[in-house]
Amino acid sequence: MSSLYIHIPFCHYKCSYCDFHFSVNKKSKDKVIDAIIKEIIERQDYLQSKELDTIYFGGGTPSVLSIEEWVKIFHHLSNIYTWNKNTEITVECNPEDVNIGYLLVLKNLGVNRISLGVQSLNDKVLAWMGRKHKVAHALKSIKDIQQAGIENFSIDLIFGIPFYDMKNLEKDIYFLLNQFNIPHISAYQLTVEPKTKLNYLVRKKKISFANEDKVRNEFLMLHDTLNNKGYLHYEVSNYAKEGYIAKHNSAYWLQKTYCGIGPSAHSYNGIERRWNVSNNYVYANSISEGKIYYEKEILNANQKFNEYVFTRLRTTFGCNLNEIKVNFGEKYAKHFLDAYSKNKAYFEVDEKNQKYYLSPSNGYLMADKISLNFFVV
């Protein structure tokens, strides 16, 4: 499997909760895009195949790019790689950037999946998050995506907002599902990240943060509601209608190889993990001067096993005993079974496929803590 990730490190504004790598100063945009293109060309042999299964443009905000910039990037990609109608090509978009003309250009270039940052269906919550779009924009963008004929799309939502009642969140979800046929939903629990405005407000005690019970109840409500509406809860934060599981993110969760381009992007080739510098100027200058712009780490067997357990337990793909024996050996398989017998209560087992996976409701809620019990240290 060949997957390419391209990070577009610019945003129009800074949301109160977000610590992804981006800059709101777009002065270096041309330089960074040139560097991204240079990295695409220079690293063309990183993946084993030139036939791509997935391409994902994430950010930051990829929809800050102009049509000319998209055409330029796709021109260079197509000089190196090939893709076909089964290749999943996703672009993350913010609602305020989307209109039918823009979407049709993306579609003509080959983009067949949009991930839209809806975040909330309440204008007060959106303003509190520092978003510049209103609910009406987001709903219009969903219509535009459908009208442009991009039937595969996903929306991002955030739950666990301190002052927003679960009853309202539940009403919002029903409204959305009754209004639109949405193939994929990512629902993230709000986390307080360092160096964000939200973190500052929590530290200064200007916000009392959502308590554990509220977060848990909202997670379970989303699980039940979406499950009843026919969505598979296939990863802690991800729900898909049949046939719409995200191929690109699944490649990460299934330990496939991927090449990450752009500042802060990560790559994995089965042996080493490498990550580009999270600074637009250092990235662009280093690339143009031929200097090293990344760090890397060769993974040992314990690290690979721990990553396997950590990512698999967050998904319905689960841990496969046979796969553990083949890829890591009997010693790790025994270690896995010992840890499993101590944590059985949270698991579901598919004996036929030798698959051990957390129950997508209560088990997922504990995924991070449970995986620690499986780690080899």
Ligand X SMILES: C[S@@+](CC[C@H](N)C(=O)[O-])C[C@H]1O[C@@H](n2cnc3c(N)ncnc32)[C@H](O)[C@@H]1O
State how far the Cα of 106 lies from the Cα of 96, in Å rounded to an integer: 16
Q: Is residue 14 involved in binding ligand SF4 (CB under 6 A)?
A: yes
Quick check: 172 and 119 in contact, CB under 8 A? no
- What is the closest distance, in whole angstroms, from the C-beta atom of residue 129 to ligand X in the complex? 9
State how far the Cα of 192 lies from the Cα of 170, in Å rounded to an integer: 23
Tokens of 161: 């907002």
- Residues from 72 through 101 that contact ligand SF4 (CB under 6 A): 94
From 22, 81, 231, 234, residue interacting with ligand SF4 (rule: CB under 6 A): 22
From 54, 112, 119, 249, residue interacting with ligand X (rule: CB under 6 A): 119
- Residues from 108 through 127 that contact ligand SF4 (CB under 6 A): 117
CA dihedral 302, 305, 306, 308 (to 10 degrees): 160
Nearer to ligand SF4, 92 or 218 (CB): 92
Q: Is residue 59 involved in binding ligand SF4 (CB under 6 A)?
A: yes
- CB proximity list for 307: less than 8 A, separation 6 or greater: 255, 299
Nearer to ligand X, 78 or 191 (CB): 191
Q: Is residue 94 involved in binding ligand X (CB under 6 A)?
A: yes
- What is the closest distance, in whole angstroms, from the C-beta atom of residue 235 to ligand SF4 in the complex? 19
Q: Is residue 20 involved in binding ligand X (CB under 6 A)?
A: yes
Nearer to ligand SF4, 60 or 318 (CB): 60
Select the span of 7-15, 77-85, 162-170, 341-349 touching ligand SF4 (CB under 6 A): 7-15
Closest CA to 187 of 255, 112, 261, 118: 118
Quick check: 336 and 309 in contact, CB under 8 A? yes
Q: Is residue 188 involved in binding ligand X (CB under 6 A)?
A: yes
State how far the Cα of 84 lies from the Cα of 297, in Å rounded to an integer: 33
Q: Is residue 117 involved in binding ligand X (CB under 6 A)?
A: yes
- What is the closest distance, in whole angstroms, from the C-beta atom of residue 118 to ligand SF4 in the complex? 11
- CB proximity list for 269: less than 8 A, separation 6 or greater: 46, 47, 257, 259
Q: Is residue 15 involved in binding ligand SF4 (CB under 6 A)?
A: yes
Radius of gyration for the alpha carbons in the chain, expressed in angstroms and rounded: 21
Q: Which does 158 bind (CB under 5 to 8 A by kind): ligand X, ligand SF4, none?
A: ligand X
Closest CA to 129 of 121, 119, 138: 119
Nearer to ligand SF4, 249 or 315 (CB): 249
Quick check: 89 and 5 in contact, CB under 8 A? no
Q: Which does 14 bind (CB under 5 to 8 A by kind): ligand X, ligand SF4, none?
A: ligand SF4
From 4, 6, 7, 17, residue interacting with ligand X (rule: CB under 6 A): 17
Nearer to ligand SF4, 120 or 343 (CB): 120
How many amino acids of this chain bind ligand SF4 (CB under 6 A)? 11
How many amino acids of this chain bind ligand X (CB under 6 A)? 16
Closest CA to 294 of 320, 327, 272: 272
Task: Cite the beta strand spans of the chain per DSSP E.
Answer: 3-8, 54-59, 88-93, 113-119, 153-159, 184-189, 232-235, 238-240, 258-261, 266-268, 272-276, 294-298, 319-320, 347-350, 355-358
From 3, 54, 61, 306, residue interacting with ligand SF4 (rule: CB under 6 A): 61
Query: Can you give the binding site for ligand SF4, defined by CB under 6 A?
Result: 11, 14-15, 18, 20, 22, 59-61, 94, 117
Query: Can you give the binding site for ligand X, defined by CB under 6 A?
Result: 17-18, 20, 58-59, 61, 92, 94, 117, 119, 156, 158, 188, 190-191, 193
